[in-house]
Amino acid sequence: EHGITKPKGYNVSFHYNPEMEKHHFGMTHPMKPWRLTLTKSLVSAYGMNFAMDNYTARAATYEELTAFHASDYVDHLATVAPQPQPLDVENPNPDLKYNLGGSDCPLFEGLYNYCSLSGGASLDAARKLCANQSDIAIAWGGGLHHAKKAEASGFCYINDIVLAILQLLRIHARVLYIDIDVHHGDGVEEAFFSTDRVMTVSFHKYDPLNFFPGTGALEDNGPKSEHNPGAHHAINVPLNDGITDEQYKWLFESIITRVVEKFRPGAIALQCGADSLAGDRLGKFNLLVQGHSSCVEFCKKLGLPLILFGGGGYTPKNVARAWAYETAIAIGHQDDIPSQIPIHTPWRDRFKIDSLLPTIQQILGEPRQNRNTQKKLTEIVQHVTEQLRFVGA
Ligand code: V1S
Ligand code: CA
Ligand code: ZN
């Protein structure tokens, strides 16, 4: 009936827990965990599950979370009350210390469960790669790149990416982290600031005073403090509104080709934040699913063990399109899935447009003004090339 069968010669695993969608950040909050359900329903409607190993992700344990996070922070996360604590001048509310309870990182029912499920999915994915049981492992519930060792930030409480990379480092001498979320991957960058075993590359909108988190300038390549092996191992690609598929693909491929050549990673961790797509509620790029997913396709072709994480993405129907199409790329079926969203897809009405790959006109009507000049993009590639002179043997 459907033509989707297991790819020969390599394995893809899909790590997901339907419990994640039951958590709510609040009505006005842009992060909607049910986008994961929408993604999963599209993946299943296309029959993609027949071509991968599907796992119900477990929750990460306390010990696993504290492999990166401070135990006092994890202890606090495990006990926080969704209601604001009464004001006590003698004992200041510890929520503030950990940046919890504000509008970006609210306290909600089941928060600790949500965090450990996201961490568990990414850890399971990393372990499948380490055990050589998967060539590509997918964890769309992960990708929460802003979380710090002892602090929540930008909708992220537990940095599942750092936890996963720590696993990969048990097997691989060097791991390459790439981040195509519209925001700077600051938490992952900072976690590996002092090692030359992880190189981080983030593509993001950069406008320090007006766009979160405000870090990630071209010149920020890791602290150049005395004998820091991590110096030059952070690469930042600051962009402006309106970047197109053609420009993004060119930049991505130019930079990643050079990085892989010099750094020679043993595995790649790719954060696929879908807020870099056109029509996102927070992001303002002009990327289509085609351009976004070309990054996944390019990484797959490098032939290294690959882990795919989710991340941002605030227009759920477009998030589901991108992550479903990127799942198709992982299993090698992107060219033989119908371009029309299957009629039996649950929540099909949510997609509005019945194409899996809508045009920019269908999404936005008029594309956003592109504020990225080719001159600036060429300068970025030039800067990266110069940075890479300090990297590798
Ligand atoms: N941009 C943006 C944005 N929008 C919100 C927000 C809006 C409505 C709410 F009810 C709650 C929050 N917060 C922000 C950003 C954080 C963006 C995080 C992106 C996460 C990721 O995609 O990279 C990975 C999952 N926060 C801010 O801009 C901070 C403020 C400075 C302004 C907004 N207010 C609400 C908080 C402080
Ligand atoms: Ca990014
Ligand atoms: Zn984002």
Which contacts of 40-44 are long-range, i.e. CB under 8 A and separated by 24 or more positions? 40/16, 41/320, 41/345, 41/346, 41/347, 42/320, 42/321, 42/324, 42/341, 42/345, 43/14, 43/323, 43/324, 43/327
pLDDT along the chain (393 residues), means of 10: 78 98 97 98 98 98 98 95 70 87 95 98 98 98 98 98 99 98 99 97 98 98 89 97 98 98 98 98 98 98 98 98 98 96 96 97 97 98 97 83
- Among 36, 96, 99, 104, name the best residue to mutate to test ligand 1's pocket (greatest count of ligand atoms within 8 A of Cβ): 104
Helices marked H in 144-302: 160-168, 186-191, 245-263, 289-301
Which amino acid, 303?
Answer: G
Nearest ligand 1 atom, CA 154: 18
Indicate the pTM of the whole model. 0.97
Query: What is the torsional sign of CA 240, 244, 247, 253?
Result: positive
Predicted pLDDT at 85: 65
Kindly state if the Cβ of 274 falls inside 6 Å of ligand 1.
no
Q: Is residue 184 annotated as a catalytic residue, yes or no?
A: yes
CA distance 146 to 328: 27
Active-site residue identified among 15, 145, 183, 184: 184
Written as six digits, the tokens of 335 are: 């060219």
User: What separation in Å is there between the alpha carbon of 211 and the centre of ligand 1?
Assistant: 9
- 270 Cα to the center of ligand 3, angstroms: 14
Can you tell me which residue has the tokens 């477009």?
318
Tokens of 384: 């990266």
Return d(Cα 303, Cα 7) in angstroms, integer.
15
CA 236/CA 199 separation, integer angstroms: 11
Neighbours of 215 (CB within 10 A): 18
Residue minimizing CA distance to atom 25 of ligand 1: 312
What is the distance between the alpha carbons of residues 178 and 308, in angstroms, rounded to a whole number? 10
Exposure b/e, 142-176, CB count within 10 A at least 16 = b: bbbbbbbeebbbbbbbbbbbbbbbbbbbebbebbb
